[in-house]
Amino acid sequence: MKSPKSLIRPLVHDLHAYVPGEQPKIKGLIKLNTNENPYPPSPKVLRAVKGAVDGRLRLYPNPTAERLRARLAKLHRCKPENIIVGNGSDEVLAMAIKAFAEPSLKSKAQRSKSLVQYLTPSYSLYPVLADIHGAAKNPVALNADFSLPSLKELKRGGKWDFNAALTLVTTPNAPSGRGYSTRELEALCKAQRGVVVLDEAYVDFANENALKLALKHPHVLVARTFSKAYSLCFQRVGYFVGHPELIDALQKIRDSYNVNGLGQVAAEATLDDLDYYRSVHMPLVQDRLAGWQEALKDAGLDAGDELVETAAFTIDSGADALARLLERVPDLDAVFAMNDLMALGAMRQLRVAGKDVPGDVAVVGFDDLLAESSSPTLTTMAQDVQGFGVAMASLLLEQLGGGAPRHEIIPVTLVPREST
């Protein structure tokens, strides 16, 4: 008798399974690791789900989520044929790899046909899905400030494949929170000859979305989920928007009855109460701001009355912001970026441009500020709020008495009042 191990496909035997965020069993913890919405679904959604717990439980759900697709089509001003719904956006991502990437081909000339390409860091499920399918992987690093490399940079780097069967772009990026403009995403999409998936799991917290690209370019799909902004992680509902021919191909390989009935009911009820969720998004941003200010106070800095001057700059990179700060404040003591990686990236970009940071100016990550128990008095502190886009920048500037931001990438400079 063969051993059970010998019955397993070598590909499966060598797989490393996706590790989901831990679900702690200790009560009272503030859980952040899986980015679950701290607010519950709307009361209307809860009532709809409870009302559906009846004799319908003995029936199979609608196999194609027909009513939900019709509702989403109306919302996105397209046709139901442009939409496929899955068991969370994870399922539609897996379907895309199955539908558009061949299992690994040994010939180098054919490698692009089996290539799943993605930028890093991003969603850690991408390589796992590629491995499960036996596709080739091509992770390519984002810039040091988590911005998208330009087409020129991608060509110069030599690793990016413009013929890749499938390219996955998380926008806004996770884990950094960096948002990307539709303009730069479209430039990338137009350069790719294979299918491009724009994974917009967190788009409701961004300044703009790229949905129109899925309806404009026949090789582009946009992924959305009801898990994050709409508090339905438990129900697992996600979807793609794209060209009918791509959607039809995905329909051929989806599981039967792949979206549970209560999930469909919850998602439909969510679309009936979008005003509730829009009212929730802003408090989430406000809560983030409040937590940020509290962290400043914990570090020994007054984030309230002593912040007397604000400035907003339209920039293309962290280096631009740093250069402007150095010019604007000649007696600068320190500059804090969002994190160490952004600080190092900005300094490196400045050196490439032939500039440098004065030796007596510290440029460190914001996370270092929170780690220090005795931080020096700062003349200036820079906080890059691009992760939550203009919404957070507007709140911060409004609270501090500044003007309206002019761009989705806004570094906000806070200048403490000198001690008297």
pLDDT of residue 16: 81
pLDDT of residue 285: 56
- Burial class of 10 by CB neighbour count within 10 A (0 to 12, 13 to 18, 19+): exposed
Question: Rounded to an integer, what distance in angstroms lies between the CA atom of residue 171 and that of residue 177?
Answer: 8
pLDDT of residue 146: 82
pLDDT of residue 254: 94
Single-letter amino acid, residue 115: L
pLDDT in tens, 80-111: 999 999 999 999 999 999 999 999 776 776 88
SS (H, E, C) 126-176: HHHHHHHHCCEEEEEECCCCCCCCCHHHHHHHCCCCCCCCEEEEECCCCCC
Question: Rounded to an integer, what distance in angstroms lies between the CA atom of residue 354 and that of residue 185?
Answer: 29
Q: Long-range contacts of range 27-34, CB-CB < 8 Å, 24 or more positions apart?
A: 34/233
Question: Rounded to an integer, what distance in angstroms lies between the CA atom of residue 230 and that of residue 232?
Answer: 6
Q: Which residues pair with 416 in a beta bridge?
A: 307
pLDDT in tens, 42-77: 999 999 999 999 999 999 999 999 999 999 999 999
User: What are the structure tokens assigned to 157, written together?
Assistant: 């780097």
Cβ of 339: how many Cβ atoms within 10 Å?
Answer: 18
Sign of CA dihedral 223, 228, 232, 233: positive
pLDDT of residue 282: 58
Q: How far is CA 408 from CA 126, 212, 284, 386, in A?
A: 27, 18, 18, 7
pLDDT averaged per 10 residues in sequence order, the chain, 420 residues: 82 80 70 74 93 94 96 95 96 96 78 92 91 93 87 92 96 84 94 96 84 96 93 93 97 94 96 83 59 51 31 36 59 48 54 60 44 31 31 36 32 32
Q: What is the dihedral of CA 309, 347, 349, 400, to 10 degrees?
A: -20
- Domains plus CATH for the chain? 39-272 (3.40.640.10), 279-416 (no CATH)
pLDDT of residue 320: 58
Residues 67, 73, 77: CA angle, nearest 5 degrees? 155
Question: Rounded to an integer, what distance in angstroms lies between the CA atom of residue 105 and that of residue 110?
Answer: 6
Single-letter amino acid, residue 364: V
Of 253, 223, 277, 239, give the one whose Cα is nearest residue 66: 239
Residues 13, 18, 20: CA angle, nearest 5 degrees? 145
Question: Rounded to an integer, what distance in angstroms lies between the CA atom of residue 59 and that of residue 103?
Answer: 36
Kind of pairing, strands 115-120 and 411-416?
A: unpaired
Q: Which residues pair with 198 in a beta bridge?
A: 169, 222
Question: Rounded to an integer, what distance in angstroms lies between the CA atom of residue 69 and that of residue 53?
Answer: 22
pLDDT of residue 184: 93
0.75 surpassed by pTM: no
Of 368, 64, 98, 91, give the one whose Cα is nearest residue 226: 91
pLDDT in tens, 173-218: 888 778 888 999 999 999 999 999 999 998 887 778 999 999 999 9
Cβ of 24: how many Cβ atoms within 10 Å?
Answer: 10
Of 172, 179, 171, 153, give the one whose Cα is nearest residue 384: 179
